Amino acid sequence: MLQLERINFKCKPTFRDAGIRNYRENQVVRHHWVHRRRQDGKCKQCGKSFQQKLFQQKEIIAISCSWCKVAYHNKVACFMMQQIEEPCSLGIHAGIIIPPSWIIRLPKQRIQGSFKSSQRKKKKPSIKRKSITKKEEGKMRPFIIKPIPSPMMKPVIVFINPKSGGNQGAKLMSKFQWLLNPRQVFDLSQGGPREGLEIFRKVPNLRIVACGGDGTVGWILSEIDKLKFKPFPPVSVLPLGTGNDLARTMNWGRGYTDEPISKILTQVEEGPVTQLDRWNLTMDKNPDVELTKEDREADNNGPLDVFNNYFSLGADARTALEFHESREANPEKFNSRFRNRMYYARAGGTDLLKRTSKDLTKQITLECDGVDHTSRIQELRVHCILFLNIPKYGGGTTPWGNPSVHTFEQQRHDDGFLEVIGFTPSQIAALYVGGHGERICQCREAKVITNAMIPVQVDGEPCRLPPSIIRVSVRNQANMVLKPKRRGSMPINTDTPLSNDRLRIQVSRISMHDYERLNYDKEKLKKASVPLGIIVVDSDSNLEHIRAHIDRLLEVYILQDSNANGSASSLSPTWCFLDSTTADRFFRIDRSQEHLHYITDISSDDLYVLDPERTKPSNLSPESKSGSMPDLLVQQEVLGAANRTPSPILKLPQAHSASQLLQARSDSTDQDEIPNLHEGAIGILSENTNYENEYQPATSSSCEAIVSNNSPQPPRRDTLCVSDTAHLNPLDKTLMDVSKRGDVAKFAELHRKGAYLMTVDQHGMNALHHAARFGHKDIVQYLIENAPASILDAVDYEKNQTALHKAAWYMRRTICAMLVEAGASLTKTDYQGNTPRLQALKAEDLELAAYLESRERYQLMLSEDHETAV
């Protein structure tokens, strides 16, 4: 180290220091030159090889850049001084390296002061900064990621499990850190993948490399699920350890065999993307069986509630469980891969000879897609039942085989079907010489009822399960990277290009009064903001483009309401953007620097803008908090906006209907349960409190402005020159305004004073329309209980839409469920022929669309039964 200090050698910079205002400046990455006593390859200048010195000579023979790996002879003729300050291209992996200019280390935030540094004001109690606890201070990260979106880049983050594959993980760590930015390489033993995923979640076109076994991949996929990535980043697998059935399925092989890491990174960058079905697994106690003491001590919930590869019961799970328990009891005896395989083979052979699972079929009932297969498995006398999602199993075997076209379909990992296979003892042994099991069926849902304790395993994790009711259903699909085939081979049919990432975002205005008063309390400042409307834009849009869309949003509003210039929903010409994510408080973006900032830089939920000319507080009043803003403005070149065509209806993924997508449930705790609609229960859809503020992709590649007068019928003249509620009496006018604000107590008081609940504004929208649109559940519930039933299917003048149409478009899930349960029609169409379900599809809320589809079928079934009875 003393020698390094003497020659002023420094490690390559992996980040840069910048302030919250100037982090977009100085984006150039320069070479990081190091002296080398050994160097492979040839000099870039003269093209000659580097002569390796013999013995232990300490002469420096080359100068090399640690980023792009370019090297020169240590001679004046080859390396000139002006090359020291040259920009670096980052070399052959420039498309996947996260440049140090993207990773910003922010200075410690000042406790006091304002961005108006030239104005000195007296301290006021109201502007004291909120105290930060030690726990909150620990959560504040000193680093932030400010990417520059580019279609040519596919940045990679690497997660390595050092416990997988002996000592391979630790060796790979240094190799990845040498080729990439060390800050994009993570050790899973140091806290898991969550922190790395949270830091890089806003990086566009992100790809993930999982170095480990199938369990490591499942861990990372589950964390991506919990963080609700949109879109789901593609994951590639560098297999370590044994097994690796998922890696084999994705063509990455059975294990890492010292292949050059540079070649693997190129394959990750170029590899096509395919989908992998993921499945929910619920295990509940069987109420019809009295539990013994041994049953109560067993694991009631199973090792995992989601699986990617397989789920099995019986002989194979028993062998895995015996191996697992022996390894936990004596870990020092299982430090050899060969010894582990021998023990596993001996345990499996012993179990087959003892036939310990011969009574399996007497202890379970099997139902797949509503069809009972219990008699079939009893007839076959199977010792093991396997629910298989991928073609490979048990270290590379193919238990489904190649069935004829007249019996079953070929197995795929992205078709939304599970393969159910049974094994007799002889078939288990024959698997390793090319055999296959008994093909029972291919299904989307399965139900297994056990009446005794049975060993099970989920993606290789075994346990003893007491008598239970097990349900398997489709969860979602993950994006995976296939290893590309060699040049000259046939193309890969499963190469599915990722859709363009687009953001659906709410624009909210903050007044200068609130900004100065609440600048150090971000949550209160967000609550004080006034929503202006929703825009849908590309994720790589800079703020100059976003300004054009917001201006267009305001123009559309002014066309609808001539009084907008003075209303709470307008903006002054000097408005500016606010950054709500970079620092621990909001700060303004200079208009001259808008071309340097991107939408993902300054917003994580809503997009906030500051109106400096609005100095009065935005207290709730009949004219505040919600004007008659257009429903949505979808990104479009502002020029030629008059010639727009309706966007096509979004298609569902192949091989999935909305009924199956209904099961694509997130495992977060802030969502309610949806009862099984196939059992005739009335489903109550959940509503995530943050869901409606999250980024949502747009409905089409083309862009259009969807405003309140976009129906085929021409807008009436009075809609362009009269306020929404100008024709109403004061009591009804106040009722309409309160329905937009959500004050249910005030709403009920107005009703008692004689306000008419069925009153409509000039667009034909009643209080239920507005409450559904703005997400006020209390107002919706009050109207359901107190207004005439006809309000549920009342339509507006402009779009012929009901309140359920509005709620579906704005993805108000709980409100949709409330309206459906109250009897709102699911088959009523607007002027464009859209039902509420199609509105949800256009908004790309597939889960809501699945719920509405199931309830629509239920309504049709009831109407058909009624007609038959008559």
Query: Domain coordinates of the chain in residue numbers?
Result: 143-155+162-272, 279-476, 502-634, 658-684+724-869
Give pLDDT, residue 741.
82
For 658-684+724-869, CATH number? 1.25.40.20
Q: Which residues pair with 441 in a beta bridge?
A: 420
pLDDT at 170: 79
Residue type, position 427, single letter: Q
Q: What percent of the chain has pLDDT over 90?
A: 23
What is the pLDDT confidence band of residue 649, given thresholds at 50, 70 and 90?
very low
Do 531 and 506 touch, CB atoms closer than 8 A? yes
Judge whether residue 387 has pLDDT over 90: yes
CB-CB contact of 308 with 214 (8 Å): yes
- Cα pseudo-dihedral 209, 210, 211, 216, rounded to 10: 180
3-state secondary structure 827-863: CCCCCCCCCHHHHHHHCCCHHHHHHHHHHHHHHHHHH
Model confidence at 328, pLDDT cuts 50, 70, 90, reads confident
pLDDT digits (tens, 9 = 90+) for 296-316: 766 666 778 899 999 999 888
| DSSP structural state of residue 48 | P
For residues 702 and 98, give the distance between their C-alpha atoms in angstroms, rounded to a whole number.
Answer: 31
Contacts of 858 (CB under 8 A, 6+ apart): 677, 682
Tokens of 296: 């109560």
304: CB partners within 8 A, 6+ apart: 218, 281, 458, 459, 461
Distance CA 818, CA 780 (A): 8
* Cα–Cα distance for residue pair 245/268, rounded to 1 Å: 18
- Order the strands of the 530-538 sheet from edge to edge: 587-588, 576-579, 607-611, 502-511, 530-538, 632-634, 705-706
Q: What is the pLDDT of residues 396-422, one digit of tens each?
A: 889 998 888 778 888 999 989 999 999
DSSP string for 513-567: HHHHHSTT-HHHHHHT-EEEEEEEEETT-BHHHHHHHHHHHHHHHHHH-TTGGGS
The CA distance from 63 to 70, in Å, is 9
pLDDT of residue 644: 36
Residue 246 token pair: 């998922």
Pairwise CA distance, residues 430 & 345, whole Å = 13
**Model confidence at 783: pLDDT above 50:** yes
CB count within 10 Å of CB 146 equals 21
Helix, strand, coil tally for the chain in percent (to 5): 35, 20, 50
Tens digits of residue pLDDT in 816-868: 999 999 999 998 988 888 899 998 888 888 888 888 988 888 777 766 554 44
Lowest mean pLDDT among 45-59, 176-190, 418-432, 622-636: 622-636
Asked whether residue 648 carries a pLDDT value surpassing 60, the answer given is no
Sign of the four-CA dihedral 231, 236, 240, 246:
positive
Q: How far does CA 725 lie from the centroid of its chain?
A: 41
Q: Domain 143-155+162-272: which topology?
A: Rossmann fold (3.40.50)
| pLDDT at position 128 over 60 | no
589-598 long-range Cβ contacts below 8 angstroms, 24+ apart = 589/543, 590/21, 593/24, 594/542, 594/543, 594/544, 594/547, 595/542, 595/543, 595/544, 596/24, 596/25, 596/542, 597/24, 597/542, 597/543, 598/147, 598/148, 598/149, 598/539, 598/540, 598/541, 598/542, 598/543
pLDDT at 524: 86
Which of the pair, 339 or 541, is modelled with greater confidence?
A: 541
- pLDDT band for position 130 (cuts 50, 70, 90): very low
- At 616 the pLDDT is 57
When mean pLDDT is compared across 321-335, 562-576, 779-793, 822-836, the lowest value belongs to: 562-576
* Predicted confidence (pLDDT) per residue in 482-538, tens digit: 998 765 444 444 444 444 567 788 888 898 888 888 877 888 888 888 888 888 888
- Tell me, what's the pLDDT at 519? 78
Rg (CA), the chain: 31
Q: How confident is the model at residue 774 (pLDDT cuts 50, 70, 90)?
A: confident
Mean predicted confidence (pLDDT) in 433-450: 91
- Average of per-residue pLDDT values in the chain: 76
More confident residue, 185 or 162: 185
Q: Is the pLDDT of residue 461 over 90?
A: no
Q: What is the pLDDT of residue 432?
A: 81
Select the CATH number that applies to the domain covering 279-476 from these four: 2.60.200.40, 1.25.40.10, 1.20.120.140, 3.30.70.270.
2.60.200.40
Tell me the pLDDT band of 590, cut-offs 50, 70 and 90: confident
The pLDDT of residue 581 is 79
CA 294 from chain center: how many Å?
41
**Low-confidence winner among 58-67, 703-712, 780-789 (lowest mean pLDDT):** 703-712
Q: Is the peptide bond before 231 cis (omega within 30 degrees of 0)?
A: yes
Task: Classify domain 502-634 by CATH number.
Answer: 3.10.20
What is residue 588's three-state secondary structure? Answer: strand
pTM higher than the cut 0.85: no
Q: Which runs of E-coded beta strand occur in 356-408?
A: 364-368, 371-372, 384-388
Which percentage of the chain shows pLDDT scores above 70?
73
Check if 279-476 and 658-684+724-869 are the same fold: no
Range from 330-344, 447-461, 580-594 carrying the lowest mean pLDDT? 330-344
CB atoms within 10 A of CB 532: 25
Q: What is the pLDDT of residue 698?
A: 32
Strand, coil or helix: 298:
coil
Work out the pLDDT band at 692, boundaries 50, 70, 90. very low
CA angle, 827 then 832 then 833, to 5°: 25
Looking at residue 767, its pLDDT comes to 92
